Amino acid sequence: MDVVAVLFDMDGVIVLSNQAHLAAWQAFARERLGLEITAGMFYRAISGRKNEEALAELFPGRFSTAELTRISAEKEAFYRERFGPQLTPVPGSLELLSELRAWRDSQAIPPVRLALATSGPPENAEFIISRFDLGTAFDAVVTGNDVKRAKPDPTIYLRAAESVGAEPRRCVVLEDAVAGVMAAKRAGMRCLAVSTSEPAGRLRAAGADEVRPDFTTVNRTTLRQLLAG
């Protein structure tokens, strides 16, 4: 029996965290690395991607592989400590998750599964899951540590689909970034994007099947209709 899956990105989809990540990158780079990171650099090269890939692109040849790994971990710890307590949910995201959990737990036919797929490290996923009491929300969690290449490479969404037993054509991805939309479409999935981080026009141009400002007007019927094409 086909499984229907809803695959959630995390930053900008569950929580309004991109401005916090930008501020964390700017403060961390200035205080710890003596570097300047502009908003343009962040949205062009960092948002929605693995830190190591982004830093290697922004500062080619400056850091060794070991240094990139260390800097990435230190920046994320810096972000969680300094900005984590201030994070708030994307409007409607927790309500949508609650509705989808009830749908899944109702033993619906076809079965419904929920997965989290974030380019961030597992520590960030664990922090958000704990911060917003989402311990039983997801049937699977895939992070940047589980894949070699980050979005727009489709591997993270293909891995999430496989982990919940769903075929790509039966998956809806919830995204907020151009790289994430591209990853979803390359994976052969439907994609609903929210314009919490990037303009709606850029998300549509990247291939999003539908774009909303947030999740206040999204429910399980919206996602079922999207899957039906």
pLDDT tens, 131-146? 999 999 999 999 999 9
Calpha distance 67→207 (Å, rounded): 35
Give the pLDDT score at 158. Answer: 98
Q: What's the whole-number mean pLDDT along residues 23-34?
A: 97
Q: What's the whole-number mean pLDDT along residues 110-132?
A: 96
User: How does pLDDT run across 50-97, given as a tens digit for each residue?
Assistant: 899 999 999 999 999 999 999 999 999 999 999 999 999 999 999 999
74 and 97 part of one domain: no
80 and 93 part of one domain: no
User: How does pLDDT run across 143-198, given as a tens digit for each residue?
Assistant: 999 999 889 999 999 999 999 999 999 999 999 999 999 999 999 999 999 999 99
Catalytic positions: 9, 11
105 and 152 part of one domain: yes
Q: What single string gives the DSSP state of each residue in 57-71? A: HHSTTTS-HHHHHHH
99 and 22 part of one domain: no
CATH number at residue 10: 3.40.50.1000
Could you give the angle at the alpha carbon of 161 between the alpha carbons of 157 and 162, nearest 5°?
115
Return the structure tokens found at 216.
Answer: 């206040």
pTM: 0.93
Burial class (CB in 10 A: 0-12, 13-18, 19+), 99: middle
Report H helices in 48-177. Answer: 51-58, 65-82, 93-105, 122-131, 155-163
Domain that holds residue 31: 18-86
Strand (E) or helix (H) holding 113: strand 112-117
What is the CA 133 to chain-centroid distance, rounded?
Answer: 18
Q: What is the count of structural domains for the chain?
A: 2
pLDDT surpasses 80 at 48? no
135 and 205 part of one domain: yes
Amino acid present at 192: L
The last residue of one of the domains, among 86, 117, 134, is: 86
Amino acid present at 50: K
Kind of pairing between the strands at 171-175 and 190-194? parallel
Handedness of CA 62, 66, 67, 73 (dihedral sign): positive
Return the structure tokens found at 157.
Answer: 């969404």
Calpha distance 188→167 (Å, rounded): 9
Please give the order of strands across the beta sheet that includes 140-142: 140-142, 112-117, 4-8, 171-175, 190-194, 210-212
Give the pLDDT score at 1. Answer: 63
171 and 103 part of one domain: yes
Residues in the chain, total:
229
